Amino acid sequence: MTPEVVEADGVRLRPTRLDDVADTVAGCADPLTQRGIAGMPHPYTEETAHWWITEGAPAVWAAGGAAYAIADPATDRLLGSIGLSQPVPARGQAEIGYWVAPWARGRGVATAATSALARHAFAAGTARLELLTHEENAASMRVAIAAGFRYEGVRRAANPTRGGGRHDLWAWVRLADDPAGPAPRALPDLPDDRLTDGVVTLRRLTPADTDALYRLHTLPEVVANRVRPVPPTRAAIARRCAVAESEWLVGSAADFALCDARTGELAGGCAMSYDEPATGQAMLGYSVLPEARGRGLATRAVRLVADWAFGPVGLARLWAGTAPDNVGSQRVLERAGFLREGLMRGRLPARDGVRTDTVLYALLAGDPR
């Protein structure tokens, strides 16, 4: 590729210039940019920006990549940067990456620039583009989806972490012959970011829920009904909350905070694991804090999730399993319309190497509720 100007989707992609130095420093020194790009120099100074514009970016072009400034087409002011790296000419492959300045965020700049550069790269002969994101960077994942990239999997320990260690990267890919427009999603966002019946509200789990969820999942009666009856660490719960939006975006699970609609306080948790997309089936699980039990909140939550699953998601079947002696959970499912289908012998691992049975319940899209 050559460093020509690309005008598309309300952004301008152009070569970097020395009059971009001040805006480059402000954008690259921003804490969000620094957190999202582990390899970004720190501290980021005028000298760093000057080196990038005069030496770094030209070297990227010389190596077969691309290094564009994202600019406002009306004012030509720098809004961010986008480029192609890791070119593999024999495979027609490259990696796309970007950052957006604080004053340009929330305007669709990253999506517009990514879409424009992808089209330009494909027109120049590229066959496959990769976009790699940190597992907690849901905002960048939304950009990938909006620009037509599809989730492909996890690159384990693929990137160094600032301060030491390594972390996974989640891979998103777009091919030259993929259809235009956003990539399809298995799990849509919630209407108004929540489901509610006026008594219970379900919203996506967030990092702010870590302490309450950790308390819930270390209760002895909740631990006893985990897939492995071992209490989770706080770090494991913190990660679950941190990647809840990401898991939702890739379509693997919808992890809900179950809240009292009147107070907003977290009363429990409810999760729908999309375990069989090919057959339109998902698994449902839930638990409630002791102080919120006996009020029918779990039943209301299950009904809300079922309506959403069979409506906007388009599932055909929801299933749930309970321990044979978990009569309370069985009553929740029955009140929500689930039918008992049978006993799955020795389904789950328990303590001391033994296995336990599971009572299987299911609800179909056409069942009365």
pLDDT tens, 188-225? 999 999 999 999 999 999 999 999 999 999 999 998 88
- Please report, for the domain that includes residue 356, its CATH number: 3.40.630.30
In the block, which residue shows the tokens 């702010």?
Answer: 208
Contact between 281 and 316 under an 8 Å Cβ cutoff? The reply is yes
pLDDT value at residue 239: 97
Closest CA to 204 of 247, 160, 157: 247
pLDDT value at residue 368: 87
pLDDT value at residue 233: 97
Residues 96 and 227 in one domain: no
Residues 224 and 170 in one domain: no
Domain annotation covers residue 126: yes
Whole-prediction pTM value? 0.93
Domain annotation covers residue 185: no
**What residue numbers bound the domain in which 288 lies?**
191-364
pLDDT value at residue 60: 96
Residues 201 and 118 in one domain: no
Domain annotation covers residue 184: no
Domain annotation covers residue 290: yes
pLDDT value at residue 243: 97
Residues 141 and 270 in one domain: no
Residues 322 and 196 in one domain: yes
CA distance 140 to 149: 11
CA distance 223 to 65: 51
Spans of the chain, pLDDT less than 70: none
pLDDT value at residue 315: 98
pLDDT value at residue 9: 87
Residues 333 and 264 in one domain: yes
Q: What domain count does the chain have?
A: 2
Contact between 94 and 88 under an 8 Å Cβ cutoff? The reply is yes
HEC profile of 94-156: EEEEEEECHHHCCCCHHHHHHHHHHHHHHHCCCCEEEEEEECCCHHHHHHHHHCCCEEEEEEE
pLDDT value at residue 351: 76
- The residue type found at 203 is R
Residues 276 and 155 in one domain: no
